[in-house]
Amino acid sequence: MRDIGFTAAEMRSMRKLHTPAKIQDFLNTMPFNFETLGDTCKSPRRVLAERKAQCMEGAMFAATALRLLGHPPLVVDLESTDDDHDHVIAVFKVRGRWGAISKTNHAVLRYREPIYASVRELVMSYFHEYFLKDGRKTMRAFSRPVNLARFDGQNWMTSEEPVWFVPEHLCDIPHQAILKTKDVVALRKADDVEISAGEIVEWRKPKRSC
């Protein structure tokens, strides 16, 4: 693979993440980026330096780390209803099966072992976890895997500036719907115990100082 622009010190840190599970473990050690000063879209270099990330930033970081292991840097956008947030995952294949790395602050929408026969099968494993506080299930569509190598000319991995062009592309591309209108109407809400589990967070949002 061509020189991707990381320093020797950065490469030493990245090379320690020698399996998809190690990449996920490393992401889990990072505090969640609550974007308290405004929306961010930091490159993997900035994520490595600042040691915090939200889902888009985590997915790009994971895709970069996967690339160093010989995988293509692939991400998939999970699209929700307008009253919920999309989620982005980095996806990879091991022995012909798909898995996913995910940065989230909640007890759900997390890592997936590489056991799924297709991207759709992998994506659908997130469906029942994707709900609002009132129990409404909100996942509606997903994108094909996007190879972030398409943005190499824009230095998406090492830019010191925000890399908004990546999520903008994910928003613009076609998504495959997973439900028809009649399916949406028939959806059962999540149980109270599921909702309670969904409220478990890994990192507490910092309180604003005076």
Rounded Cα gap, residues 80 and 148, in angstroms: 22
pLDDT tens-digit series, residues 163-189: 999 999 999 999 999 999 999 999 999
Q: Are 125 and 116 in contact (CB under 8 A)?
A: yes
Identify the band that residue 210 occupies on the pLDDT scale cut at 50, 70 and 90.
very low
1 pLDDT higher than 60: no
The angle formed by the CA atoms of residues 10, 14 and 18, to the nearest 5 degrees, is 160
In tens, the pLDDT along 72-131 reads 999 999 999 999 999 999 999 999 999 999 999 999 999 999 999 999 999 999 999 999
- By the 8 A CB rule, do 142 and 125 touch? no
Please give the pLDDT value at position 207: 75
Break the chain into its structural domains and give their ranges: 8-198
pTM of the model: 0.96
**Rounded mean pLDDT of the chain?**
95
pLDDT of residue 194: 95
* Whether 140 contacts 80, CB under 8 Å: yes
Among 84, 43, 71, smallest CA distance to 167 is for 43
